[in-house]
Amino acid sequence: MASELRTAAPGTEAAVESEQDAPIAPGTGGRSRAAGLLRAARPKQWVKNVLLLAAPFAAGALGDGPTLARVLLAVAAFCLAASGTYLLNDVRDVDEDRRHPRKCRRPIAAGVVSPRLAVAAGVTALGAGLAVAALVGWELLAILALYVVTTTAYSLWLRNVAVVDIGIVAFGFILRAVAGGVAADVPLSRWFLIVASFGSLFMVAGKRYGEYLDLGADRASIRPTLRAYSHSYLRYVWTVASAVAIAAYCLWAFEESGFHTGPPWYELSIIPFTMSILRYALLLDDGDGSAPEEIVLRDRTLQVLGVVWVVVFGCGVYFG
């Protein structure tokens, strides 16, 4: 089914997926370079930073103006730092990306943005992100610095170590969740951390599975760890991770409901949460998981389930 979707006509889901790496015609004008630089910064990836809102939202802290401002600054810091690492990583991997069936269309690999310009923009974005984090506090600055260090280590070495590579990518999601709690100065529940950890591992295993299918016979030369992974192993990882995430969320919901009176909002939130996991797993089964941000941005059912969860859980937080 995944292969059928990838050859679909314009306007279908497959066409939307391919548009994220659609080539920009090389040109000498600054406008073309600016558009390419923006694409190389991967603004679609910024959707991952919504995770910074999770802990403050769960704690009911987003209604406080100063707290919301600190959290939004933290989101901006992570967006800048992430874009900076993407730019620098694409410069390093330019030769490898040119051999990739989709990454070869990225602006740097396609020659739209010069490596020198990308490096300058990447360093500037990283510096700006760290400066914004410092405005919020040294704790957020430390977390963002750790994110940059682990991302750099992943790009240089750890992405070639099987199992460790998916753990490091998942760790990046966890750091975002923790950063939101630090920015809002709210305590982090142990159940929240477990849900964030295994939910992240679930998504990353699905991402590797999608890459495993997308790259076909070239998978080992383009991403060496895919030589170690098998079709069944990646399915096993996402099955275990999703099961632990759901179980931990149920325990978290029942624990939270014990501190509140009124309708069982927290228990009811288990339904849309579980349905969201199952919907995402269905999309992974189709081989669509290589770009998690694309799944979130295009799948209407998943978006509706997410909104329902936000509303139900929010009722528990603010009206429970």
Taking the CA of residue 310 as centre, how many other CA atoms within 13 Å lie in the half-sphere pointing to its CB? 12
Q: Which residue has the tokens 């730019």?
A: 87
Q: What share of the chain is helix, strand, coil (3-state, %, to 5)?
A: 80, 0, 20
Please determine, for residue 138, whether its predicted confidence score (pLDDT) is greater than 80. yes
Supply the pTM of this predicted model: 0.81
| Alpha-carbon span 298 to 303, nearest angstrom | 8
The reported pLDDT for the residue numbered 100 is 67
Contact by Cβ (8 Å): 248, 191: yes
Please determine, for residue 28, whether its predicted confidence score (pLDDT) is greater than 50. no
Side chain identity, residue 132: V
Tell me what the pLDDT averaged over the chain comes to: 84
Tokens of 242: 């999703």
φ, ψ dihedrals at 264, nearest 5°? -80, 65
User: What percent of the chain lies above the pLDDT cut of 90?
Assistant: 47
Contact by Cβ (8 Å): 275, 305: yes
Please choose, from the candidates 133, 151, 33, the residue with its C-alpha nearest in 3D space to the C-alpha of residue 82: 151
The reported pLDDT for the residue numbered 53 is 93
Contact by Cβ (8 Å): 51, 196: yes
Q: Tell me: the pLDDT tens digits for 224-255? A: 788 888 889 999 999 999 999 999 999 999 88
The reported pLDDT for the residue numbered 27 is 45
Please choose, from the candidates 78, 58, 178, the residue with its C-alpha nearest in 3D space to the C-alpha of residue 128: 78
Q: Which residue has the tokens 């990447």?
A: 122
Confidence of residue 29 (pLDDT cuts 50, 70, 90): low
Contact by Cβ (8 Å): 75, 53: yes
Q: Tell me: the pLDDT tens digits for 173-199? A: 999 999 999 999 998 888 999 999 999
Contact by Cβ (8 Å): 44, 50: no
Q: Tell me: the pLDDT tens digits for 81-133? A: 999 999 988 888 777 767 666 777 778 887 788 888 889 999 999 999 999 99
The reported pLDDT for the residue numbered 251 is 92
The reported pLDDT for the residue numbered 2 is 43
The reported pLDDT for the residue numbered 210 is 84
| Alpha-carbon span 143 to 78, nearest angstrom | 10
Q: Tell me: the pLDDT tens digits for 155-166? A: 888 888 999 999
Contact by Cβ (8 Å): 199, 245: yes
Listed range (26-30, 51-55, 213-217) with the worst mean pLDDT: 26-30
Please determine, for residue 291, whether its predicted confidence score (pLDDT) is greater than 80. no
Average pLDDT for 55-76: 92
Confidence of residue 1 (pLDDT cuts 50, 70, 90): very low
Cα torsion 47, 137, 69, 201 to 10°: value is 20
Tokens of 122: 């990447």
The reported pLDDT for the residue numbered 39 is 87
Contact by Cβ (8 Å): 315, 289: no
| Alpha-carbon span 104 to 21, nearest angstrom | 8
